[in-house]
Amino acid sequence: MDVTRLIIVAVGGQGNLLASKVLGEAALLSDIPVHMSEIHGMAQRGGVVESAMVFGDAKSTIISDGHADILLGFEPAEALRAIQKCNRDSTVITNLHPIPPFTVAIGKGKYPDLNQIQTLIRNKTKRLIAFDAVALAKKAGNVLAVNMVLLGALVETGLLPLTNEQVREAISTRTRKAFLDINLKAFELGNTAARA
Amino acid sequence: MHKLLSTEPGKKLLLLGNEAIARGALEAGVAIATTYPGTPSSEISANFFEIAKETDFYFEYSTNEKVALEVAAAAANSGVRSMCVMKHVGLNVAADTLMTLAYVGVKAGLVILTADDPFMFSSQNEQDNRYYAKLSGIAMMEPSSVTEALQMIAYAVELSEQLQEPVLFRTTTRINHSSEIVTTGEIPKRITKGHFQKDPFHYVTVPAVSRKLHQKLLKHQKAARTISDSCPFNFTEGSGNYGVICNGVSYNYVSDAIKELKVQDTIKILRIGFSHPMPSALVTDFLKGCDKALIVEEGEPWMEEAVKAIAQEAQITVLIKGKGKHFFSRLYEFDPAMVKHIMADFFGLQYSPVQPVDISGIPEIPQRPPNLCAGCSHRATYYAVKKAAKGLDTLYPTDIGCYTLGLLPPLSMADFLICMGSSAGTACGFSTATDQKVIAFIGDSTFFHSGIPPLINAVFNHHNFTLIILENGTTAMTGHQPHPGVDMNQLGYSGYGKVSIENMVRAIGVSHVEVIRPYRVKKSIEAVRRALEFKGVSVVISRELCALFAKSLKISRGKPFYVSNKCKNHRDCIEQLGCPAFYIEDEKVKIDADTCIGCTLCAQVCPEHAILPVKASL
Ligand code: SF4
Ligand code: SF4
């Protein structure tokens, strides 16, 4: 089976660990080998959280620079920061809703321009899918569902060895029942965003 | 029911390495487990803690790793299978116990898990704990994957019983924090009580006894070497005249590289999972069939030195390479592309590396360092100390915990840190060797762990400094584990005692003790000032629950604050406090109401009194 490598970057608290868990569970349900690793140093203290997921016949749980087939960014500046994980043929999906780091508030550094982020990523990789996932999460009924929106866009690209049905099933088993309708709605809105 | 208690054998679960290890312990019949929390090992114990609530499995958060190991050692010598879990530097603390425990040995299996942290994702050093196996003379196991971690625990427990010695189980962060689909085995019935068979002339390590025990240890080591040679976790793969010897996660990178380079018939692998003692017969055989060999291991040239020594014994002269220029580094962690590259170079293989995107033209992206939470009590304490110490030539030894983040601006309240407890110990030295005003910071859990002996030392030797004990009611950084100062009844647990830091400090003989509530800014500054004026050892206990922990307990602190139009843009709040609830919009300071916990600190700091609580009607 071919190997597909996915990097997910986010800011602590954005729910990306749940997103990777859902993908892992979907792989389990679909009998697809998966290896993943997480670095969440001090996620709850506002640091960067990175997960690497390797689908298919490989043993490694981390992804070297240039080796990600897909980069999923929960935050635009973090997507750009992680761009060296990609190569010319990589696909990048990113949320466009910025979370400026605290260093910006205390005047140490300037948040990059959103248009510039998109142009840079677009020029350096094969494809960029960028949209405001927070707005779609709100539309689905809960801003916290931003992870499900992004999953929807990710799976819709068809680059993962997982179908929308399989991931929807994993969402149903892995996320809290009270949020299930919102999560599935968010996932579908993500599907649509990636088709646009 | 806890998911790791599933009794359905053959069930497929997506598990984190640390969950798999906890499950492995259950499948190995381990009945007693101890720890002092430390990343990357923390989730193992977090799962044990939960499991112990539901079953007859006994688990404890011990005050430090040395105590944890002694609890487990006694249990194992009473015939109960035990496990002791710690991060790599924890084994330094437990080393005194380990070295002679190896002489004494065990009756029932004892596995000591050390979670090493190459690259120091969350540690103060990246020491390679494999040397502890060699130093103490005990056997060591190293898994390469999550699945293997689960299976190896049972093997390690059996091995420990067979050798009558503790077994070191060494993981690295990328095992602890990786996930994989694993298949569960059966959980046997645990034996939770044993009986200690007295035998003082084997158990009481006076010199005459220890001289015999050392002989016994060497005998056990010899037996271990034989087992290592036939251990199923030491195996070969592939064929060819080139050889790679590897361990841990490096095996995954080597194995993927061989597949991608399609050289299964050129390069063979010797994967070492039972790494101390090294399987010398196996290594000799392997080297005999090689024209040259590469050793792939993160950290120190531990296997490399052993393999070279084995080759010398066997008079094998093939080229053996591992660490060095153009080869592997002793620094940080490896990655698959780096391993593939060095292998291709060494073995002269065709290889076109993937080019990462060129990063030219990418603007500098502002760093996103972790920050103390909004409303973290440490921020308030640091502010009070800074104000009270204004004008003094200060020196701030600090310690290990969330408060180490006080290193970063705008707080900048950390000058020196070595290890757990070093704040108070080095404060003794700094105050002797300099005339600077020494103010040391230590968290409550760290104080229990290793802050007490240096404080006693300070009182006895008449040192002159102020120790600020940040009593926030939890071991915050590693995920809010309890410690002896926590009121467990209040958290809904029974069967625990409680140790008062204040009583203990007074009992040690510290004559000037202040207790502050750090959100009361003015009072706190005054109290710290009094403590700083005192000549001799003074202690300030800053008591306030960790904000994040309070949130998880649903203890609300009140309404969030907002910046009213009285604000004159001094930005004292941002520049002196750096609470992450602040942000700048249209050149004005704003407070994010969802992040602010209403600690009131900034409201007390603002010279214009412009920061006000959000009214209920708003
Ligand atoms: S977890 Fe608690 S102690 Fe740590 S930074 Fe947050 S509030 Fe402070
Ligand atoms: S009151 Fe001020 S310092 Fe406290 S959490 Fe809110 S914004 Fe931060």
Sign (positive or negative) of CA dihedral B240, B241, B247, B252: negative
Give the Å distance between the CA of B480 and the centre of ligand 1. Answer: 9
Instruction: Considering only the beta carbons, identify the residue of B252, B337, B583 that sits closest to A67.
Output: B337
What topology does CATH give the domain B377-552?
Rossmann fold (3.40.50)
Residues from chain A contacting residue B548 (CB–CB below 8 Å) = 44
Which residue in chain B is spatially nearest to A91 when comparing CA positions? Answer: B357
Q: Is the pLDDT of residue B368 over 50?
A: yes
Q: What is the pLDDT of residues B568-601, one digit of tens each?
A: 999 989 999 999 999 888 889 999 998 999 999 9
B617 band by pLDDT with thresholds 50, 70 and 90:
very low
Determine whether the interchain pair B121/A45 forms a contact, defined as Cβ–Cβ distance below 8 Å: no
Lowest-pLDDT range of A107-111, B163-167, B284-288, B323-327: A107-111
Average pLDDT, chain B: 96
Distance (Å) from CA B143 to ligand 2 centroid: 45
Q: Both ends of chain A: CA-CA distance in Å?
A: 30
How far off is chain A from B617, nearest CA to CA, in Å? 23
What pLDDT score was predicted for residue A102? 86
Domains and CATH numbers, chain A: 4-195 (3.40.920.10)
The pLDDT of residue B618 is 46
- Among B235-249, B255-269, B565-579, the minimum mean pLDDT is found in B565-579
Confidence tier at A109 by pLDDT (50, 70, 90): confident
Q: Where exactly are the structural domains of chain B?
A: 3-230, 235-347, 377-552, 561-617
Chain center to CA of B48:
16
Does the B3-230 domain belong in CATH 3.20.20.140? no
Averaged over B400-408, what is the pLDDT? 95
Cβ separation of A80 and B578 shorter than 8 Å? no
Ligand 1 contacts (CB < 6 A) are: A 45; B 372-373, 376, 378, 402, 472, 476, 546-549
Which residues, 6+ apart, have CB-to-CB distance to B354 below 8 Å? A66, A67, A87, B337
What is the tens place of the pLDDT at every residue in B473-487? 999 999 999 999 999
Domain B235-347, second-level architecture:
3-Layer(aba) Sandwich (3.40)
| Whether pTM exceeds 0.95 | yes
pLDDT of residue B8: 86
Q: Which of A11, A33, A86 sits opposite B368 (nearest CB)?
A: A11
**For ligand 2, atom 2: residue with the closest CA:** B602
Q: Looking at beta carbons, which pairs linking B60-63 to residues 24 or more positions away fall under 8 Å?
A: B60/B33, B60/B34, B60/B35, B61/B34, B61/B35, B61/B36, B61/B37, B61/B475, B61/B481, B61/B482, B61/B483, B62/B34, B62/B35, B62/B36, B63/B36, B63/B448, B63/B449, B63/B483, B63/B484
Distance (Å) from CA B600 to ligand 2 centroid: 6
- B439 has pLDDT over 70: yes
pLDDT above 80 for B393 = yes
Residue B9 pLDDT level (bands cut at 50, 70, 90): confident
To the nearest 10 degrees (0 to 180), the angle between helices B452-460 and B501-508 is 30
* Chain A contact set for B251 (CB, 8 A): 59
**From the candidates A31, A48, A60, A83, which should be mutated to test the interface with B, based on the most B CB atoms within 10 A?**
A60
B322-326 LR contacts (CB < 8 Å, sep 24+): B322/B294, B322/B295, B322/B296, B322/B297
CATH classification of B561-617 is 3.40.50.150, yes or no? Answer: no
Query: Hey, is B421 helix, strand or coil?
Result: coil
What residues in A contact B181, CB-CB < 8 Å?
A: 24, 27-28, 33-34
Residues of chain A found within 8 Å of residue B582, distances taken between Cβ atoms: 102, 105
Sequence-ordered strand ranges (E) for B426-548: 437-443, 465-471, 512-516, 537-543
Q: Is B374 in the pocket of ligand 2 (CB under 6 A)?
A: yes
Mean pLDDT, rounded, for B15-44: 97
For the stretch B114-165, pLDDT in tens is 999 999 999 999 999 999 999 999 999 999 999 999 999 999 999 999 999 9
Give residue B442 CA to ligand 1 midpoint distance, Å: 14
Mean predicted confidence (pLDDT) in A122-140: 98
- B546 C-alpha to ligand 1 centroid (Å): 5
Task: Average the pLDDT over B412-427 and give the result.
Answer: 98
ipTM: 0.96
Ligand nearest to the CA of B378: 1
Residue of B nearest to A62 (CA): B335
Is the pLDDT at B76 greater than 70? The verdict is: yes
Atom of ligand 2 nearest to the CA of B599: 4
Contacts of A80 in chain B (CB under 8 A): 362, 365
Q: How confident is the model at residue A43 (pLDDT cuts 50, 70, 90)?
A: low
Interface touch B366/A100, C-beta < 8 Å: yes
State the distance from the centre of ligand 1 to the C-alpha of B373, rounded, in angstroms: 5
- Per-residue pLDDT reduced to its tens digit, B297-334: 999 999 999 999 999 999 999 999 999 999 999 999 99
Asked if the domains at B377-552 and B561-617 fall in one CATH topology, the answer is no
**Subunit contact B121:A39, Cβ cutoff 8 A:** yes
B159-172 pLDDT tens trace: 999 999 999 999 99
More confident: B519 or B594: B519
CA dihedral (A195, A171, A162, A94) in degrees, to 10, reads 40
Write down the pLDDT at residue A41: 63
Q: Are A31 and B357 in contact (CB under 8 A)?
A: no
Tell me the ligand closest to B479's alpha carbon: 1
